[in-house]
């Protein structure tokens, strides 16, 4: 177990270093930070002094080292556009994004699991085929369009739900803001969460269905039937469990996807999250924000993937034995 | 003579395809008596496994039983609903599949798979079922069963896994076991052990076996009677001695000629010319006629009846006494 | 065996056309009305995009023909609509129907070009990784793994952002199509690479590859000739589904304001323009391009889905 986790941890660190490298190069070579900090009429000598002070004249490897050390301390400098610390900007907006993504994830998984299992088990029923075609539409209609349609229908035409913003938020101890505790906050999250979750919902449903079909063809399912086990035991005891093993592995990926796709949803619903900040930073080429977002988001992904790996390890006995076992 | 345990009458299995119906099993009849081992041999694609699947009621769609009857213990079972048939599977008819490596669910311990089967068919308590599971593992020759019962399939070797599969097939003492190529996926050295085990257990429990294989050697050693299948039809059914020693059907003769025998040095192994026709392309008359060295006019026109020759039933015109064949 | 085949079949060799018609793939195509419909829709949309210049009643890029007096007209069948503008006009007085045709041209162009780029990168990477193996393989597949753990939209946004850093604003706007193709193309190569690598690994140790080496042919040439036909099926499936995905990604980027500019709108840009007017009830500006986009992507997805199932022997 320990060896397995250590190996995964090492891989995660490599991923983070690669991401750090990308962020670092972006920061270092796209646009001169000095130009962003001083006026046009600043003399060359003063610029040079600033360069020296910022350590921009150091060898590359030292600068990268400094970058990594700073990044580990969540130190990414000032935003070109907002002229305030990038970390504060991001952390301020992080709860909004995380909350949105998590609510979407819950919606997506809660609906996708039964739908996927149903369409897998009864693949020839017309209801399954209808669900499958519907899910293909879900994949084909882009997130932003669904958002727009939702806004038009529920906010503009019916006037039931707000079309933008987060509603009233409550600040919890520790500085985390949440909209889930107020009526307006809850109302505000419905449309964005549905919009964001829909794509993932269809994706997971189709994945579970495909996996279920694959498992139902295996010999051990046939053998389970030949042993006279009840349909229920075969479908839910055997097939479902085996289906979920590979599904777990992509869960981390999908959760990461949700956080990334929040960029779009936040843009449509003017949700005050990290994604919208990142989008603005791309339009304005605000490099510190871009690289900080990249590093922080990657960190979230890596942690998610690590958790999923450990989960996978717990579920699949085949992995467990390999861990402590060549000397058997 | 007691009533047959299993009787298959004029079984016909069809697959609808885009080019029309494909008849995979055509007018197949045989029976198995209590405690008897019936070997079913033939080339791959002859329909052996399909027949087995039809008996346990697990034909894969779109294949379906299109005609004939399957009677188990005096009760017709080919037209039962899924739930009724499920109660027969495992309880009255056990099954063993080809590949032990893939027959067990990798996510559950061997013990859990045994106890769930036992508890499905009996009203044993979990504790009782577990004891029974350990007993069964002992019986199929798995060392340290108390420890092994809590292990996962991947912790067992191929041969050991097939022993577990046998234990699973026999765990509630079914009257018949359909064993579909139970040793093909195993090492040669282990094959004999597994066959011996199966034979011994079935004899001890009085279980009848339908042993599907393409290995004539296994049949000769194990079976009481043999059914030879060719292109979805029965070529010959009879006591194993007769079929092996004095094969009647030219196809069986050819099959026997292709087996090396100890003590028959110097003899050339024979080979049957050509290959089995595809199901889309079965010739009129006897299905074997293009490859048959003894085929004559009638074989190309009429499908042969089953003819009783010294206790062996043969589907071949050569044995039709009424015909003016010389 | 000739003697068992029926004489009728043996004597009359069917024509090539008949053999194509009778082929397994064609059969499953003919028997799936949804797929046929999807193919027809896709073809119609592609043709109307290619011939937009002939079909479109107005040229939305010809500033002289645009009259601000015509702006914000609803579709022709509504009360205030005019017959000249079938689907209404936008805030600048451009005919929605024509802008959709021209916009779709850009969406399809970017989509196809990105798929080609992804396929070229992915297939080459897969061939090299599979053939050379060892460290090269490990590095390529490691990069693929890392990239795969990041959502494509994020990578596309990032590449777009980097290009904005490298180019200044005018350069970026002038080069927007290549920039988009690059962003979307690079973010989608991994699947091709994985598939091709798998097949290459299988082929690498076959005898003809050894033989080729002995007669002095470069094995990689031989590999390309043998591996590519083997992976054509899966690659075609990935490419078809990839086309739908690329069109979606481009639309998303454009909608987010980092893709095609309003002066040269793609479907995504059109939806974005219309989004601002949705609250004033001008629904047609974004809904019609949105529907077109959805129908196009759905049709391509349906084709890809069918192709995947038809090429998968297990599902037959």
> Across residues A133-149, what is the average pLDDT?
86
* Confidence at residue B323, expressed as pLDDT on a 0 to 100 scale: 55
Say which of B90, B107, B116 has its CB closest to residue A242: B107
* Confidence at residue B23, expressed as pLDDT on a 0 to 100 scale: 87
Q: Which H, E and C letters describe chain A, residue by residue? A: CHHHHHHHHHHHHHHHHHHHHHHHHHHHHCCCHHHHHCCCCCCHHHHHHHHHHHCCCCCHHHHHHHHHHHHHCCCCCECCCCCCEHHHHHHHHHHHHHHHHHHHHHHHHHHHHHHHHHHHHCCCCHHHHHHHHHHHHHHHCCHHHHHHHHHHHHHHHCCCCCCCCCCCCEECCCCCEECCCCHHHHHHHHHHHHHHHHHHHHHHHHHHHHHHHHHHCCHHHHHHHHCCCCHHHHHHHHHHHHHHHHHHHHHHHHHHHHHHHHHHHHHHHCCCCHHHHHHHHHHCCCHHHHHHHHHHHHHHHHHHHHHHHHHHHHHCHHHHHHHCCCCC
Query: Which residues of chain B make contact with C27, given a CB cutoff of 8 A?
Result: 18
Among chain C residues, CA nearest to B18 = C27
Say which of C157, C158, C251 has its CB closest to residue A142: C251
Contact B39, B211 (CB under 8 A): yes
End-to-end, the C-alpha distance of chain B in Å comes to 36
Of all residues in chain C, the percent with pLDDT exceeding 90 is 20
Please check the confidence at residue A324 and state whether its pLDDT lies above 60.
no
* Confidence at residue A72, expressed as pLDDT on a 0 to 100 scale: 81
Say which of B106, B154, B168 has its CB closest to residue A227: B168
DSSP 3-state percent helix, strand, coil across chain B (nearest 5): 35, 25, 40
Weakest-pLDDT range from A46-55, A80-89, A178-187, C243-252: A46-55
Report how far residue B143's alpha carbon sits from residue B265's, in angstroms, rounded to the nearest whole number.
Answer: 41
Average pLDDT, chain B: 86
Say which of A136, A149, A279 has its CB closest to residue C301: A136
Residue contact B290–C1, C-beta within 8 A: yes
* Confidence at residue A321, expressed as pLDDT on a 0 to 100 scale: 57
What sign results for the dihedral spanned by CA atoms A268, A272, A274, A279?
Answer: positive
- The token pair that represents C281 in the structure block: 């009830």
* Confidence at residue C296, expressed as pLDDT on a 0 to 100 scale: 93
Report how far residue A79's alpha carbon sits from residue A68's, in angstroms, rounded to the nearest whole number.
Answer: 18
Query: Which residues of chain B make contact with A220, given a CB cutoff of 8 A?
Result: 102-106
Q: Which domains does chain C have, with CATH numbers?
A: 33-315 (1.10.3720.10)
The secondary structure element, H or E, covering residue C266 is none
**What is the torsion angle, in degrees rounded to the nearest 10, for the CA atoms of residue B238, residue B244, residue B250 and residue B255?**
120
- Model confidence at A328, in pLDDT bands (50, 70, 90)? very low
* Confidence at residue B99, expressed as pLDDT on a 0 to 100 scale: 82
Say which of C1, C6, C27 has its CB closest to residue B18: C27
Among chain C residues, CA nearest to A155 = C279
- Model confidence at C314, in pLDDT bands (50, 70, 90)? low
Q: Which H, E and C letters describe B150-200, residue by residue? A: CCCHHHCCHHHHHHHHHHHHHCCCCCEEEEECCCCCCCHHHHHHHHHHHHH
Please check the confidence at residue B12 and state whether its pLDDT lies above 90.
yes
- Model confidence at A327, in pLDDT bands (50, 70, 90)? very low
Pick from A121, A223, A312 the residue to mutate for testing the B interface (most B CBs within 10 Å): A223
Among chain C residues, CA nearest to A261 = C153
> Across residues B276-300, what is the average pLDDT?
84
Query: Which residues of chain B make contact with A235, given a CB cutoff of 8 A?
Result: none
Contact B246, B259 (CB under 8 A): no
Query: Which residues of chain A make contact with C149, given a CB cutoff of 8 A?
Result: 15, 252-253, 256, 301-302, 305
Tally of CA atoms within 13 A in the half-sphere of A267 that contains its CB: 27
> Across residues A170-188, what is the average pLDDT?
80
What sign results for the dihedral spanned by CA atoms A224, A225, A230, A235?
Answer: positive
pLDDT digits (tens, 9 = 90+) for C238-267: 999 999 999 999 999 999 888 888 888 888
Pick from C165, C187, C254, C291 the residue to mutate for testing the A interface (most A CBs within 10 Å): C165
* Confidence at residue B114, expressed as pLDDT on a 0 to 100 scale: 94
Which ranges of chain C would DSSP assign to H, the alpha helix?
Answer: 7-11, 16-22, 24-30, 33-50, 52-55, 96-132, 134-148, 152-166, 169-174, 176-186, 190-204, 207-214, 219-255, 267-275, 284-311
- Model confidence at C113, in pLDDT bands (50, 70, 90)? very high
> Across residues B153-157, what is the average pLDDT?
90
pLDDT digits (tens, 9 = 90+) for A277-321: 998 888 888 888 888 888 888 888 888 888 888 887 787 777 765
Tally of CA atoms within 13 A in the half-sphere of B68 that contains its CB: 22
- The token pair that represents B69 in the structure block: 């009857």
- Model confidence at B119, in pLDDT bands (50, 70, 90)? very high
- Model confidence at B92, in pLDDT bands (50, 70, 90)? very high
Please check the confidence at residue C46 and state whether its pLDDT lies above 60.
yes
Contact A252, A298 (CB under 8 A): no
Q: Which residues of C touch B (CB under 8 A)?
A: 1, 3-6, 27, 31
Contact C41, C299 (CB under 8 A): yes
- Model confidence at B134, in pLDDT bands (50, 70, 90)? very high
Query: Which residues of chain B make contact with A321, given a CB cutoff of 8 A?
Result: 152, 154-155
Smallest Cα distance from C312 to chain B, Å: 17
Please check the confidence at residue A326 and state whether its pLDDT lies above 80.
no
Distance of CA A88 to the CA centre of its chain: 20
In what side-by-side order are the strands of the sheet with B20-32?
Answer: B20-32, B6-17, B64-72, B75-76
Question: A205-235 burial, b for 16+ CB within 10 Å, e for fewer?
Answer: bbbbbbbbbebbebbbbbbbbbbbbbeebbb
Task: Report the number of secondary-structure helices (H) and strands (E) in chain B.
Answer: 12, 12
Query: Which residues of chain C make contact with A143, given a CB cutoff of 8 A?
Result: 252
* Confidence at residue B120, expressed as pLDDT on a 0 to 100 scale: 92
Pick from A121, A215, A225, A228 the residue to mutate for testing the B interface (most B CBs within 10 Å): A228
Distance of CA A3 to the CA centre of its chain: 27
Q: Could you give the 3-state DSSP secondary structure of residue B226?
A: strand
Q: Scanning the structure block, which residue is given the tokens 């074997």?
A: B288
- Model confidence at B18, in pLDDT bands (50, 70, 90)? confident
pLDDT digits (tens, 9 = 90+) for C155-201: 888 888 888 878 777 787 788 899 899 989 998 999 999 988 888 88
Q: Which domains does chain A have, with CATH numbers?
A: 2-72 (no CATH), 93-319 (1.10.3720.10)
Q: Which chains touch B (3 or more CB pairs under 8 A)?
A: A, C
Asked if the bond preceding B62 is cis, omega within 30° of 0, the reply is: yes
- Note which residues in 26-55 of chain A have CB less than 8 A from chain C: 26, 30-31
Residue contact A278–C279, C-beta within 8 A: no
Among chain B residues, CA nearest to A230 = B86
Pick from A217, A227, A241 the residue to mutate for testing the B interface (most B CBs within 10 Å): A227
* Confidence at residue B267, expressed as pLDDT on a 0 to 100 scale: 60
What are the angstrom distances between the C-alpha of A199 and each of A31, A178, A205?
36, 24, 10
* A44 vs B321, residue with greater confidence: A44
Weakest-pLDDT range from A267-271, B185-189, C88-92, C232-236: C88-92
- The token pair that represents C229 in the structure block: 């036909």
Which are the contacts of A85, defined by CB distance < 8 A and separation ≥ 6?
A76, A77, A78, A79
* Confidence at residue C81, expressed as pLDDT on a 0 to 100 scale: 65
- Model confidence at A322, in pLDDT bands (50, 70, 90)? very low
| β-pairing verdict for B37-41 and A170-171 | unpaired
Say which of A220, A226, A231 has its CB closest to residue B105: A220
Query: Which residues of chain C make contact with B281, given a CB cutoff of 8 A?
Result: 4-6
> Across residues A55-66, what is the average pLDDT?
78
Q: Note whether A142 contacts C: Cβ–Cβ < 8 A.
A: yes
Weakest-pLDDT range from B179-188, C14-23, C229-238, C246-255: C14-23
Say which of C4, C27, C31 has its CB closest to residue B277: C4
pLDDT digits (tens, 9 = 90+) for A62-92: 888 888 888 888 777 777 777 788 888 888 8
Weakest-pLDDT range from A151-155, C18-22, C92-96: C18-22
Q: Which residues of C touch A (CB under 8 A)?
A: 34, 146, 148-151, 153-154, 157-158, 160-162, 164-166, 244, 248, 251-252, 255-258, 268, 271, 275, 278-279, 281, 283, 286-287, 290, 293-294, 297-298, 301-302, 305, 314-315
Among chain C residues, CA nearest to B17 = C316
Tally of CA atoms within 13 A in the half-sphere of B126 that contains its CB: 3
Which are the contacts of B266, defined by CB distance < 8 A and separation ≥ 6?
none
Average pLDDT, chain C: 81
Contact A73, A168 (CB under 8 A): no
End-to-end, the C-alpha distance of chain C in Å comes to 26
Look at residues C101, C77, C97, C75 and name the one whose alpha carbon lies nearest to residue C88: C75
- Model confidence at A325, in pLDDT bands (50, 70, 90)? very low
Residue contact C149–A256, C-beta within 8 A: yes
* Confidence at residue B326, expressed as pLDDT on a 0 to 100 scale: 44
CB atoms within 10 A of CB A274: 28
Please check the confidence at residue B218 and state whether its pLDDT lies above 90.
no
Please check the confidence at residue C11 and state whether its pLDDT lies above 50.
no
Please check the confidence at residue B325 and state whether its pLDDT lies above 70.
no
Q: Which domains does chain B have, with CATH numbers?
A: 6-92+175-260+269-319 (3.40.50.300), 107-173 (no CATH)
Burial class (CB in 10 A: 0-12, 13-18, 19+), C112: middle
Q: Could you give the 3-state DSSP secondary structure of residue B31?
A: strand
Contact B9, B71 (CB under 8 A): yes
Query: Which residues of chain C make contact with B18, given a CB cutoff of 8 A?
Result: 27, 31
* Confidence at residue C184, expressed as pLDDT on a 0 to 100 scale: 92
Look at residues A91, A82, A50, A45 and name the one whose alpha carbon lies nearest to residue A287: A82
Say which of B91, B105, B106 has its CB closest to residue A228: B91
Smallest Cα distance from A228 to chain B, Å: 5
Weakest-pLDDT range from A179-188, B43-52, C78-87: C78-87
CB pairs under 8 A between A and C: 114
* Confidence at residue B78, expressed as pLDDT on a 0 to 100 scale: 87
Query: Which residues of chain A make contact with B106, given a CB cutoff of 8 A?
Result: 220, 242, 316-318
Pick from B63, B105, B181 the residue to mutate for testing the A interface (most A CBs within 10 Å): B105
ipTM score above 0.90: no
pLDDT digits (tens, 9 = 90+) for B294-313: 888 888 888 888 888 888 88
- Model confidence at B175, in pLDDT bands (50, 70, 90)? very high
Q: Scanning the structure block, which residue is given the tokens 């579920």?
A: A315
- Model confidence at C63, in pLDDT bands (50, 70, 90)? low
> Across residues B139-150, what is the average pLDDT?
92
Smallest Cα distance from A88 to chain C, Å: 21
At residue A255's C-alpha, the angle toward residues A251 and A257, to 5°, is 115
Report how far residue C296's alpha carbon sits from residue A145's, in angstroms, rounded to the nearest whole number.
Answer: 14
- Model confidence at A100, in pLDDT bands (50, 70, 90)? very high
Report how far residue A17's alpha carbon sits from residue A50's, in angstroms, rounded to the nearest whole number.
Answer: 28
Look at residues A252, A80, B137, B283 and name the one whose alpha carbon lies nearest to residue C164: A80
């Amino acid at each position: 177990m320990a060896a397995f986790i250590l190996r995964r941890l090492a891989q995660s660190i490599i991923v983070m270093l690669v991401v750090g490298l990308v962020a670092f190069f972006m920061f270092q070579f796209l646009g001169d930070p000095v130009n962003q900090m001083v006026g046009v009429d600043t003399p060359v000598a003063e610029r040079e002094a600033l360069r020296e002070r910022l350590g921009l004249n150091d060898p590359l490897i030292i600068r990268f080292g400094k970058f990594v050390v700073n990044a580990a301390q969540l130190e990414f400098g000032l935003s070109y556009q907002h002229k305030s610390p990038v970390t504060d900007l991001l952390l301020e907006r992080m709860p909004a994004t995380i909350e949105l993504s998590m609510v979407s994830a819950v919606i997506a998984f809660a609906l996708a699991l039964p739908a996927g299992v149903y369409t897998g088990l009864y693949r020839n029923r017309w209801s399954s085929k209808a669900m499958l075609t519907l899910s293909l539409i879900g994949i084909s209609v882009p997130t932003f369009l669904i958002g727009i349609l939702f806004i038009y229908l529920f906010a503009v035409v019916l006037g039931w739900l707000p079309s933008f913003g987060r509603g009233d938020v409550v600040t919890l101890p520790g500085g985390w803001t949440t909209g889930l505790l107020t009526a307006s906050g809850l109302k505000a999250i419905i449309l964005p969460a549905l919009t964001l979750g829909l794509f993932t919902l269809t994706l997971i449903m189709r994945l579970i269905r495909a996996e279920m079909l694959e498992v139902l063809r295996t010999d051990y399912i046939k053998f389970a039937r030949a042993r006279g086990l009840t349909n229920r035991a075969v479908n839910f005891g055997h097939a479902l469990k085996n289906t979920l093993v590979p599904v777990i592995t992509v869960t981390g990926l999908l959760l990461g996807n949700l956080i990334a796709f929040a960029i779009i949803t936040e843009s449509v619903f003017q949700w005050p999250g990290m994604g919208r900040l990142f989008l603005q930073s791309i339009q304005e080429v605000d490099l510190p924000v871009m690289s900080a977002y990249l590093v922080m988001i990657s960190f979230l992904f890596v942690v998610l993937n690590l958790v999923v790996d450990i989960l996978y390890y717990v579920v699949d006995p085949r992995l467990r034995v390999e861990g402590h076992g060549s000397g058997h | 003579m007691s009533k047959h345990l299993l009787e298959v009458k004029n079984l016909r299995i069809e697959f609808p395809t885009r080019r029309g119906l494909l008849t995979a099993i055509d007018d197949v009849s045989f029976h198995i008596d209590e405690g008897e081992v019936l070997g079913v041999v033939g080339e791959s694609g002859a329909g052996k496994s399909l027949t087995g699947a039809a008996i346990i009621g697990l034909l894969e769609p779109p294949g379906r039983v299109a005609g004939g009857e399957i009677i188990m213990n005096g009760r017709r079972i080919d037209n039962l609903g899924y739930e009724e048939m499920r109660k027969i599977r495992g309880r009255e008819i056990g099954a063993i599949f080809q590949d032990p490596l893939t027959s067990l669910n990798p996510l559950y311990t061997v013990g859990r798979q045994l106890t769930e089967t036992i508890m499905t068919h009996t009203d044993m308590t979990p504790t009782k079922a577990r004891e029974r599971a350990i007993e069964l593992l002992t019986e199929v020759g798995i060392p340290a069963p108390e420890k092994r019962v809590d292990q996962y399939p991947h912790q067992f070797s191929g041969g050991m896994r097939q022993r577990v599969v046998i234990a699973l097939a026999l765990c509630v003492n079914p009257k018949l076991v359909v064993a579909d190529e139970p040793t093909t996926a195993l090492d040669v050295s282990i094959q004999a052990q597994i066959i011996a085990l199966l034979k011994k257990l079935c004899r001890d429990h009085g279980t009848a076996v339908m042993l599907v294989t393409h290995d004539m050697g296994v049949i000769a050693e194990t079976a009481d009677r043999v059914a030879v299948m060719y292109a979805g039809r029965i070529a010959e059914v009879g006591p194993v001695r007769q079929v092996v020693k004095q094969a009647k059907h030219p196809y069986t003769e050819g099959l026997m000629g292709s087996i090396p025998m100890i003590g028959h040095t110097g003899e050339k192994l024979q080979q049957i010319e050509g290959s089995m026709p595809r199901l889309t392309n079965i010739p009129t008359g006897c299905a074997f006629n293009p490859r048959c060295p003894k085929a004559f006019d009638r074989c190309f026109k009429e499908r042969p009846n089953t003819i009783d020759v010294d206790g062996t039933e043969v589907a071949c015109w050569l044995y039709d006494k009424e015909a003016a064949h010389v | 065996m000739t003697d068992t085949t029926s004489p009728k079949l043996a004597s009359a060799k069917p024509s090539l056309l008949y053999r194509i018609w009778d082929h397994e793939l064609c059969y499953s195509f003919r028997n799936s009305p949804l797929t046929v419909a999807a193919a027809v829709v896709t073809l119609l949309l592609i043709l109307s995009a290619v011939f937009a210049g002939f079909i479109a009643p107005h040229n939305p890029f010809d500033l002289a023909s645009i009259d601000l007096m015509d702006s914000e007209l609803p579709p022709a069948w509504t009360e205030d609509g005019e017959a000249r503008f079938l689907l209404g006009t936008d805030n600048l007085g451009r005919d929605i129907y024509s802008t959709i045709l021209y916009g779709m041209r850009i969406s399809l162009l970017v989509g196809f070009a990105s798929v080609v780029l992804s396929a070229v990168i992915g297939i080459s990477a897969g061939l090299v990784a599979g053939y050379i193996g060892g460290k090269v393989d490990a590095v390529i597949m490691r990069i693929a793994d890392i990239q795969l753990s990041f959502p494509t939209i994020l990578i596309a946004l990032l590449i777009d952002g980097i290009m904005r850093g490298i180019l200044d604003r005018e350069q970026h706007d002038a080069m927007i199509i290549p920039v988009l193709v690059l962003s979307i193309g690079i973010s989608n190569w991994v699947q091709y690479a994985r598939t091709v690598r798998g097949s290459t690994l299988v082929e690498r140790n076959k005898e003809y590859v050894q033989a080729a080496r002995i007669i002095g042919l470069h094995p990689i040439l031989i590999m390309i000739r043998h591996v590519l036909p083997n992976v054509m099926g899966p690659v075609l499936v990935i490419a078809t589904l990839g086309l739908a995905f690329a069109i979606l990604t481009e639309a998303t980027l454009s909608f987010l304001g980092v893709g095609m500019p309003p002066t040269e709108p793609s479907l995504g840009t059109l939806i974005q323009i219309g989004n601002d007017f949705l609250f004033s009830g001008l629904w047609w500006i974004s809904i019609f391009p949105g529907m077109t986009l959805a129908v196009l992507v759905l049709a391509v997805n349906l084709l890809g889905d069918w192709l995947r199932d038809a090429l998968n022997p297990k599902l037959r």
